[in-house]
Each structure stands twice: as structure tokens, then as C-alpha cells.
Amino acid sequence: MAGKRWPYLAVQLTTACTRACPDCCYHVPTLPPEHFSWEYFELAAERVRAAVDGVGWLFASGGEPTLHPDFARVVREFKRMFNADQLCVATNGARLLEYLPLLHENVDKLHLTMFDGNDEIRDAVVATGYQGILYARPAEHLPMVGRPGYIYPCDTDRKYTVTLWRGRVYRCCMGPGLPSAASIPVEELTYNGVMVLQRGCDTCPYAKPARRRDYTVEG
């Protein structure tokens, strides 16, 4: 589809995680550990390439992505597979240090959530001279509740993240955890099919105070 691109695409690799965050937006603590197959990633990449001309930022996350047995292959091949400009790994740092050489070569941004004890992981990444973007932030737990009269940054900035989670596609990185968010199977992924999906903003915890309560956005 000529000229169509997605600025952000998130591909979740696994439901396995080393944490049990009570407000996990994907409800990971309630799910059995499951590593998604390489065949699934190939199918998803094929559908994405057919839907859009390219992706700006590709996020590999989870669960905890470094637990996936094919994580090294993900880091090496995902940008090419999904026709993405840049790759970000969002991680709690569980096995990050094992993959540092690969990260130097293939990952443009590390999104490291700073749980207790993660300072040494962050410092180790810095000490190796990592040249990508290192975004280390404290863990944040927000209740999954809506905020009437608030607006949503992904609407105002057009920074929505198309998200693949457990075989389904959402038009929002929070979508898998939002009751009112709509999704379609990966096998049915098309540009138009994704862009009409309801995002579930009424139950998003990341809303910001609105200047006008009658704020509306384009479809």
C-alpha cells in the first residue's frame, strides 16, 4: 500500500516474565508462560509488509523478551523482517547482560525498566560504550481505569503503536489490557483493518488532563 507507514509497531515475544506486576497492562501474571513461535513471527512480518511500506520504530517486548529462546535471532533479524527503520528492546533487564554484544550491533534503543537492583545492569550497559539510546526509567504501576474528561497522548501526537499480542492485532500498545479495545487476528491484518480498530481510550491509565472536556479527535 503505497505511502502507508506505521510510526510504531510492537511485537510481543512471550508471556513469560520474571516479574509479577500487579497492574501489568497485559495481565501477564495471570497467563501461563508461552514463547511465541518463529513461524508466527514470520506470518506477522509477512502481513505487516503487505499492509504498509515500512515501520519507523519496531519494539520487541513481552512478557520479558530476553527469556525467549530465539531472542538472539529476534535481535538479528526483526528489523529486516518487518521492514523497520529502528529496533527497540523493552526489557526489565532479566538476561540483558548475556546479549550485550548483539545489542551493540543490532539494537537502536534499549528501554530498561528500573526495578530494584537494576542500577548495576544499566551501569554495565553504559560501561560497554553502548551507542544506541538507553532509556532507563523507574517502574511505574498505574491502575487500569478510565479518566473522564482526559485526553490521550497517542491521539494528540498521532503516536499510536500497532501491537501484536498472542496472535491478535491492536491499534494501541495498551490494547491487550483494555476491555473496550478491539482487535483482529494476525492472519487478517491489513492497513485499513487495523486503522478502524477501537483503541479502548476510555479505560487507558495514561490519559492526560484535557484543556477542553469536549476534546475530540479525528478517526
Q: What is the CATH number of the domain that holds 61?
A: 3.20.20.70
Domain annotation covers residue 174: yes
Domain annotation covers residue 61: yes
Domain annotation covers residue 20: yes
Residue type, 107: V
Domain annotation covers residue 217: no
- Taking the model in full, what pTM does it have? 0.86
Cβ atoms 74, 60 nearer than 8 A? yes
Domain annotation covers residue 127: yes
Domain annotation covers residue 219: no
Domain annotation covers residue 214: no
Q: Work out the average pLDDT over 60-64.
A: 94
Per-residue cell: 31: 497467563
pLDDT level of residue 198 (50, 70, 90 thresholds)? confident
Bridge partners of 86?
A: 57
Q: How many residues does the chain have?
A: 219
Give the lowest-confidence range in 26-30, 116-120, 170-174, 203-207.
203-207
pLDDT at 146: 53
Vertex 31 angle, CA 174 and 188, to 5°: 55
Cβ atoms 178, 204 nearer than 8 A? yes
Structural domains in the chain (count): 1
Domain annotation covers residue 216: no
pLDDT level of residue 209 (50, 70, 90 thresholds)? low
- Write out the residue range of the structural domain in which residue 39 sits: 5-209
Instruction: Provide the 3-class DSSP secondary structure of residue 203.
Output: helix
* C-alpha pair distances (Å), 159 with each of 130, 147, 172: 26, 19, 9
Average pLDDT, the chain: 84
Phi, psi of 69 (to 5 degrees): -65, -20
- Beta carbons within 10 angstroms of residue 135's beta carbon: 12
- Smallest CA-to-CA distance from 57 within 30, 88, 19 is with 88
